[in-house]
Amino acid sequence: MTQILKSLAASTRKAGLSRREFMTRASAVGIGAVAASSLYGRMAMAQEPVKGGTLRMGLGGGSSTTSLDPALAASQVPFHIIRTFGEQLIEVNADGSLNPRLAESFEASEDAMTWRFNIREGVTFHDGQPLTPEDVRQTLLRHSDEDSQSGALGIMRGISDIQVDGNAVVITVDTPTADLPYLLSDFHLVIQPGGGREDPTAGVGTGAYRIVAAEPGVRYSFEKFEDYWDESRGHFDTIEMTIINDATARNAALQSGQVDLVNQVAPRVATLLDRAPNITVDHVAGRGHYVFIMQCDQAPFDNKDLRNALKYAINREEMVDKILRGYGSVGNDFPINETYPLFDETIEQRSYDPEKAAELYKASGHDGSPIILRVAETAFPGAVDAAQLFQQSAQAAGIPLEIKREPDDGYWSDVWNKAPFCASYWDGRPVQDQMYTTAYLSTADWNDTNFDNAEFDELLIAAKGELDQETRKEQYSQMAQILREEGGLICPMFNEFVQAYSTDVQGWEENGVFELMNGLAPVKCWKA
């Protein structure tokens, strides 16, 4: 079998086979999918990158309100923009390990209360200024400011002091925080000159590419930054991101050769698109989840019985089957699945129960008026269809769910985190602490369900510094059960990231942290 693998690998390199073609040949000679996928991944890593050319990306998840301020990134397009021009102190690899970037190394005190991040020397911002520890300090302080409205604000609230010591940034936390390096990998925490205080929307970072044109809702252009510090990244001369929110148009652009890579491939067309010549569809399981969110302090969702009635009124299995087409798994009304360390697999799975839903709805005393669910296709692929399925399953329980379709443009600024009941998505976070701190801590700016539970907050703070893994797992389990029973999150499904690219695009890596190789496809890939 080893000889067969070597022979197949050699012929693949010679013929330039796509991943799909390689997997087909491997299957024909009796090689299992896991072994074949692993070999293909190693081959991609071993290839010599080709320098030059343009990567053209067709992206959904953008709007005319998109800002270049990393603090405000709340959907796919701003995420990809800041991943292309900026960098954080730490990056999370596909296997969950940590990859030091602008922090060359780091260490913690024994009690995990004080952390020292040694800042990489020889790094230059796009405006020609050298990166300094003070830039790092000011960036972190800005994201700690309530006025910044940063998506990382919940994470930063646990930090009590940030100081510069020589070429290092020393961070002191309120409570022991074993996962602080993971928290600082948050994509909002792009290091900017002076922390971005003068102009956070300038789009200046230390990344492989610098922004040369920005038309929100239309397109973004980047060119290679010649003084970039990492020679292993940034192989293209230029990057073009075109905003194509319509899924059909996005796929058509890939098939016609107008773009080289697209995100958010709808599961219902993934198999068909994968059959097209010179196109590879990639799907990878991760921590992302598609959700419906209720604000717990807004009527009628301030009633626990009504919230739980809606949770029992959704048919999760049907959604995974009809919306995800099997590219995912059922959710259980908390944002953690088996991909997370310390996941508790013993928590009972909530299932569709129209009788239970009807009982709880009656107990809520709701007046029978329509319950408005706001949704747009940009919320997640298939969101409108998912909302209609929800409406039908709720109707069987006697719950009057009404769908209001909102425009895609402006959805993330005008509806999400403002409307009391809407569709949304989360890409997940590398560790449970980060996911819960970002979205469910009562003081978190991105607490989009307005969940406020003192016991949950106390457990989260205790778990941050707990070094005994069994104790920490139990704490996370208790938090999951509190959120499942008390919260405003309806989490029917965990999605796989489904994306597609031209076979000319090389260097692709499987990465379930977030779509398009955790946003690193533009800086890691190249064209054959």
- DSSP class per residue in 486-499: HSSEEEEEEEPEEE
pLDDT of residue 433 exceeding 60: yes
The pLDDT of residue 25 = 63
What confidence category does residue 147 fall into, taking pLDDT thresholds of 50, 70 and 90? confident
Torsions phi, psi for 124 (to 5 deg) = -120, 140
pLDDT of residue 48 exceeding 50: yes
Mean pLDDT of 314-340: 96
pLDDT of residue 15 exceeding 80: no
One-letter amino acid for residue 405 of the chain = R
Q: What gap in Å lies between CA 309 and CA 440, rounded to an integer?
A: 21
pLDDT of residue 37 exceeding 80: no
Q: What mean pLDDT is reported for the chain?
A: 92
The pLDDT of residue 157 = 86
Mean pLDDT of 488-515: 96
pLDDT of residue 31 exceeding 70: no
Q: What gap in Å lies between CA 195 and CA 199, rounded to an integer?
A: 9
pLDDT of residue 525 exceeding 60: yes
Per-residue pLDDT tens digits for 112-144? 999 999 999 999 999 999 999 999 999 999 999
Q: How many CB atoms lie within 10 A of CB 286?
A: 21
pLDDT of residue 227 exceeding 50: yes
pLDDT of residue 383 exceeding 70: yes
Classify 54-63+207-285+497-527 by CATH class: alpha beta
The pLDDT of residue 14 = 36
The proportion of the chain whose per-residue pLDDT surpasses 70, expressed as a percent, equals: 91
The pLDDT of residue 9 = 46
Contact 484, 22 (CB under 8 A): no
Place of tokens 């208790």: 478
Of the options 3.30.70.990, 3.10.105.10, 3.20.20.140, 3.30.9.10, the CATH number for the domain spanning 289-495:
3.10.105.10
The dotted CATH code for 87-194 is: 3.90.76.10
Mean pLDDT of 273-279: 95
pLDDT of residue 11 exceeding 50: no
Q: Among the listed ranges 34-43, 302-311, 393-402, 430-439, which one has the minimum average pLDDT value?
A: 34-43
Torsions phi, psi for 216 (to 5 deg) = -50, 130
**CB-based burial label for 53 (10 Å; 0-12, 13-18, 19+):** middle
The pLDDT of residue 298 = 98
The pLDDT of residue 22 = 60
Q: What gap in Å lies between CA 311 and CA 331, rounded to an integer?
A: 11
The pLDDT of residue 154 = 87
What confidence category does residue 40 fall into, taking pLDDT thresholds of 50, 70 and 90? low
What confidence category does residue 231 fall into, taking pLDDT thresholds of 50, 70 and 90? very high
The pLDDT of residue 161 = 97
pLDDT of residue 379 exceeding 50: yes
The 3-state DSSP class for residue 105 equals strand
CA nearest to 192, candidates 203, 179, 178: 203
Measuring CA to CA, how many Å separate 385 from each of 283, 294, 382, 408, 486? 21, 19, 5, 15, 27
Per-residue pLDDT tens digits for 161-215? 999 999 999 999 998 898 999 999 999 999 999 999 999 999 999 999 999 999 9
The pLDDT of residue 39 = 58
Q: Which two tokens stand for residue 248?
A: 């059909």
Per-residue pLDDT tens digits for 394-430? 999 999 999 999 999 999 999 999 999 999 999 899 8
pLDDT of residue 2 exceeding 50: no
The pLDDT of residue 33 = 56
The 3-state DSSP class for residue 115 equals strand
Q: What is the Cβ-side half-sphere exposure of residue 106, based on CA atoms within 13 angstroms?
A: 26
Per-residue pLDDT tens digits for 59-79? 999 999 999 999 999 999 999
Q: Which two tokens stand for residue 205?
A: 């970072």
The pLDDT of residue 467 = 81
Cα 417 to the center of its chain, rounded Å: 17
β-pairing, 421-426 vs 497-502, is unpaired
The proportion of the chain whose per-residue pLDDT surpasses 90, expressed as a percent, equals: 85
What confidence category does residue 23 fall into, taking pLDDT thresholds of 50, 70 and 90? low
Mean pLDDT of 285-301: 97
Mean pLDDT of 28-41: 59
Q: Which two tokens stand for residue 430?
A: 């590398």
The pLDDT of residue 47 = 77
Domains of the chain by residue range: 2-46, 54-63+207-285+497-527, 87-194, 289-495
Per-residue pLDDT tens digits for 453-469? 999 999 999 998 888 89
